[in-house]
Amino acid sequence: MAEADGHEAGRVFLREPVPSDRDEFVSLMRASRSFHRPWATAPTDDDRFAAYLADSHRPDFEAMLVCRVADGAILGFFNLSQIVRRALQSAYLGYAVGKPYAGHGYMREGLELVLRHAFTDLRLHRIEANIQPGNRASVALAKGAGFRREGFSPRYLKIGGRWRDHERWAILADDWRARVERGRAPSLADLRR
């Protein structure tokens, strides 16, 4: 995946992580550790980054860095994990933004690109994001992209050493396509303006 593949929007583009991203990525995630707590964990050392790179080569995992068009800076990441094929055609969505880039709309633009990639290139049917109820920014990001709340999962994921409650949010390919057709989701041309 590269920006030349159509994974670029107005201010951001998606690309796969590569070994030379280690220093910039680890530094950004370390500096954002307290910002991410207790919502998410991200690779904050060389070993965890190496594991993240290894995961990015698995057939059931898509790692995507969100980078700024103006200077190529890494702003955050999206992951599609546990990609299941056959009758399910689904994946789980995970993401985190670096603290300096939060609240600027970069992840909103990036998520539109992720959904386009998931539903057109990967031909998935369903994307699910599990979000802690108090994480207002993540809930707003998912809702703004057309995800619907499907339910509540008590003590669902262990983050920061504690089992945490999550809400299940999901979007189907058909719903995403309908949003694009109704003009509620920006097209790539709109995002490039």
Contacts (Cβ under 8 Å, ≥6 apart) of 71: none
Query: What is the pLDDT, as a whole number, of residue 38?
Result: 62
Q: For the chain, which ranges sit under pLDDT 70? A: 1-9, 34-36, 38, 184-193
Query: What is the pLDDT, as a whole number, of residue 190?
Result: 43
Query: What is the pLDDT, as a whole number, of residue 36?
Result: 61
Query: What is the pLDDT, as a whole number, of residue 187?
Result: 44
Query: What is the pLDDT, as a whole number, of residue 130?
Result: 93
Tens of pLDDT, residue by residue over 54-81, are 999 999 999 999 999 999 999 999 999 9
The 61-68 sheet, strands edge to edge: 12-15, 61-68, 74-84, 90-97, 126-131, 162-172, 148-159
Burial class (CB in 10 A: 0-12, 13-18, 19+), 57: exposed
Rounded to two decimals, the pTM is 0.86
Query: What is the pLDDT, as a whole number, of residue 105?
Result: 93
Query: What is the pLDDT, as a whole number, of residue 111?
Result: 97
Query: What is the pLDDT, as a whole number, of residue 118?
Result: 97
Query: What is the pLDDT, as a whole number, of residue 123?
Result: 96
